[in-house]
Structure formats: structure tokens, C-alpha cells
A = this chain, B = another copy of it.
Amino acid sequence: MRYDAEHKERTRGRVLKEAAKAIRAEGPLRIGVAGVMAKAGLTHGGFYAHFASKDDLVVAAMSQMFDEASAKFDRLTAGKPPAAALRAYIDFYLSRQHRDARETGCPLPSLSADLPRLGVAARQEFAAGVAGLTARIGGLLSALGRPDAELLASSSLAELVGALSLARSVADPKQSEVILKASRNALKLRLGLAESDPPRQARRSIRRESERTRPNAP
């Protein structure tokens, strides 16, 4: 090897990371090989030393995105009692920040519309991602003692994904906020996490208290 053993691997990783961002921001159809390579500091010709085709890149990048999404979930929920963990994830998922950060956000809303038209490999990768997130949410729900945890998790994930998609698509910022807030409230309510979004200035203390008094909190 002319370069050290990990050199090519590191380059591939850089390309994948840029692709994962670009695909979420622009969609798998709108991104270009040349653009992604340029972002990784390379020229387009070298692309085929790392990937067999653009489709191959998309599939590999999806795996990358779901790894990031899982890591995000774990970071947000680690060390929290299940109710607080779920609340944290819902608040993150349906936040203005997440809505406006397509590049680094959850891959599900970004990809769901284009995926039915992509290949089987991409859809399997996606299916694994959906299953993974559902299981994570389901785990927290059964820790809360919900017997219907798995189905409720699927339903909750659907609402998260749908609400974020709609909030991102709508032209009017007010309408977008309403969509996010409606689903934040509805989800917390139906998962037994809170009565509703508390008023802004009271939020912090109420949350602290509800965590202290919640039965499953340690």
C-alpha cells in the first residue's frame, strides 16, 4: 500500500458523511456525484474507486444516516427514566431546530417519499432503520408498563414522522408551529407523559416536578 492502510477507508467515510448530509437536505435524486465529492475535498473521477454507482452510494449513505439517528436517540435518552427519555425525544423530534436541520436530522421524513421508487436494497436499509427506532421507542414504553408497547411505538413514530414532514412542507411558519405543537401535545397526552405543553415560563419547573413524582422514575 502506498498510503497507510486506513487512508482509503477514511476517505470513503468522509464521502459517506457528506452524502448522508446532502441526501437528507436535497433528496437522493437531486444530489450529484460531483457535488458530494467536492464537499469531501475530492474530484468526481475518484468516486468509482469507492462506490460501484450512485445508487450504491445512496444505500451506503442510508446506513450512515441511521447510525447517526440511533446515536442521537441514545444520546438524548441515556441515563433518563423512561418517561423523561420519551419526552426528551419527542421534544427534540418536533422542535423547530429539527424541522430546520434537514441535513443532520432523522432520515425517515427526508427519504420516505422517494424511497418507494428506489431499489430493494435501499428499502431494506430503510426498513431496518424503522424497525430500530420503533424498538427503541417500544422499549421505553414497555418500561413504562404499557402492554401494547410495540404497536403504540409504531403509531407514535408514524405521528412523529408525519408531523415533521408536514411542518417542513408548509409555507406559513405559524401553521408549521401549530403542526409541531399539536403533535407534541397529542403524543405526550396519549403516551401518558404530560397533560399538555405547559406555558413557557413554567415549563422547566413543571418538568422537574413531573419527573420526580412519576412512578417509573428512579
Query: Footprint of B on A, CB under 8 Å?
Result: 26-27, 29-30, 102, 108-117, 120, 123-124, 126-127, 130-131, 150-152, 154-155, 157-163, 165-166, 168-172, 175, 178-179, 181-183, 185-187, 190
Instruction: Offer 30 A-B interface pairs, CB within 8 angstroms, sorted by A.
Output: A29-B29, A109-B113, A109-B165, A111-B113, A111-B169, A112-B165, A112-B169, A113-B113, A115-B169, A123-B169, A123-B170, A127-B169, A127-B170, A127-B171, A127-B172, A130-B169, A130-B175, A131-B175, A150-B182, A151-B182, A151-B186, A154-B178, A155-B159, A155-B187, A157-B162, A157-B166, A158-B163, A160-B162, A161-B162, A186-B190
Whether A27 touches B113, Cβ cut-off 8 Å, given contacts A179-B154, A179-B158, A186-B152, is yes
A217 to chain B, nearest CB (A): 25
The reply to whether B26 and A169 form a contact with Cβ atoms under 8 Å apart is no
**Which residues on the B side are within 8 Å of A163 (C-beta)?**
154-155, 158, 162
Given A155-B183, A155-B186, A166 and B27 contact (CB-CB distance below 8 Å): no
Report the separation of the CA atoms of residues A169 and B183 in the bound assembly, to the nearest whole angstrom.
22
The CB with the most chain B CB atoms within 10 A, among A27, A111, A155, is that of: A155
- Complex: how many Å from CA A175 to CA B108? 15
> How many Å lie between the Cα of A157 and that of B124 in the bound state?
26
- Neighbour of A162 across the interface among B114, B158, B181, CB < 8 A: B158
Complex contacts, A29 vs chain B, CB 8 Å: 27, 29-30
Per CB-CB distance, the 5 closest pairs between chain A and chain B, nearest first, are A162-B162, A113-B113, A155-B186, A158-B163, A154-B182
Can you name the residue of chain B whose Cβ is closest to the Cβ of A178? B154
Point out the residues of chain B lying under 8 angstroms from A30, CB to CB: 29, 117
